Structure 1
Amino acid sequence: MNIFRLAGDMTHLFSILVLLLKIYATKSCSGISRKTQELYAIVFVARYLDLFTDFISVYNTFMKVVFIASSLAIFWCMRFHPMVRRSYDRDLDTFRHYFLVGASFALALILHEKFTVQERWFTGCYILFE
């Protein structure tokens, strides 16, 4: 196990926990971009498609499931929770993320190593997130 990967995973996990606790404690998502959280959910779901095909380790599988579940939980809270979604200000969240998603998937069709669904999803998410 690489110590830097462990440190990165733990700080990322801590930041997700802080965000979820903030949303839960205040019942508000003010100051948080729902579009960014949607992008995180898309990236984690698509990037970790190998969860079903390649087993690396229990730690790796567990962290992938935690990151997918937490990003979907944040997305669900901001989109569907009755009290939290009322605090979302659409006028402040003006980034047009659909163009970014469309462009990344278009580039994934061009820039790939193999022409498989999993490879195209991974390339699209890499372009989107990096």
Structure 2
Amino acid sequence: MGPGRIRNPVQSAVWWVKKQPPKVKAFLAVIAGIAILVFLRLVVRDHDNLFVAAEAIHAIGICVLIYKLTKEKTCAGLSLKSQELTAIFLAVRLYCSFVMEYDIHTLLDSATFITTAWVIYTMRFKLKSTLMEDLDNLPLHYVLAPCAVLALLIHPTTSHHLVNRILWAFCVYLEAVSVLPQLRVMQNTKVVEPFTAHYVFALGVARFLSCAHWVLQMLDRNSFLISALFYGLWPAMVLLSEVVQTFILADFCFYYVKSVVDGQLMVRLPSGVV
């Protein structure tokens, strides 16, 4: 940035945060998160709407990918493995929803699963020549196996069949880490093109809203979750999974916002961000 150029207040704030050490950035992120949670608690009366909004934003992010694949005819910068992991946890969650709790979330998950399946089909068959297989190199069993083992050990203690309870836990854990292959691709390329950046940012926003839903449920004095946290590990693991998802994407979301504020189309990531 040239000496004669004057930054607006938002650019100055982003630039100041960028120069801070990691511990200060983490502290500021926590403060910002708390401030947003307070705002959401004051504005949103029904906290379940946050969870619906999270699923809707995830679906919008997938639609952004569809637009990219249709318009640009390339899947460069996208992780096929992340899409496959997303399809797996959505398929498992849809099965569990049908046999355990059919509601609005089932309909939203159905729409997201269908669009994700279309993305996978397009990437694997129509645009296979543009896949970045050398960069999309995180083995799937590194993600699937720990989730499966954890689901066997820690799962809901409801009256449903044991297999269904284990599958429900598996999809919760898998959702928390399904974006890891996509982050690996972005770390390998260091430059994230606009549509991929929009998609990952949408995931970050969706994960934050989902996490906010659970945190605000805890702050509600009449919430069952407060009581449930003292009975078994499952409720605590659900909350931990939401927090893990949010923090996994937090760094990328910061650099995405910085790029938008600076008027840049591409998101440039320094080493070690994701």
TM-score by length of structure 1 reads: 0.84
1:8-54 residue CA offsets vs partner (Å, 9 max, x unmatched): 23322221111111011111100001111111111111122223224
1:75-128 residue CA offsets vs partner (Å, 9 max, x unmatched): 1111122xx111002111111221210121122112123562221111112222
Amino acid at match of 1:86: S
Partner residue in 1 for 2:148: 105
Match status 1:66 vs 2:119: no
Post-superposition offset of 1:67: 1.4
Larger Rg: 2
Unaligned runs of 5+ in 2: 1-45, 177-274
Unaligned runs of 5+ in 1: none
Match status 1:95 vs 2:141: no
User: Greater relative contact order: 1 or 2 (C-alpha under 8 angstroms, separation 6 or more)?
Assistant: 1
Query: Judging changes above 3 Å, is the alpha-carbon distance between structure 1 residues 129 and 7 closer, same or farther for their aligned structure 2 residues?
Result: closer
CA contact (8 A) 1:108 1:120 kept: yes
Q: Secondary structure at the match of 1:30?
A: coil
Query: Judging changes above 3 Å, is the alpha-carbon distance between structure 1 residues 113 and 61 closer, same or farther for their aligned structure 2 residues?
Result: closer
Partner residue in 1 for 2:255: none
CA contact (8 A) 1:51 1:64 kept: no
Distance (whole Å) between structure 1 residues aligned to residue 131 and residue 117 of structure 2: 17
**Identity of paired residues, percent?**
25
Partner residue in 2 for 1:77: 122
Q: Secondary structure at the match of 1:48?
A: helix
Partner residue in 2 for 1:35: 81
Distance (whole Å) between structure 2 residues aligned to residue 61 and residue 113 of structure 1: 19
CA contact (8 A) 2:55 2:109 kept: no
Distance (whole Å) between structure 2 residues aligned to residue 113 and residue 14 of structure 1: 30
Distance (whole Å) between structure 2 residues aligned to residue 66 and residue 26 of structure 1: 23
Amino acid at match of 2:123: M
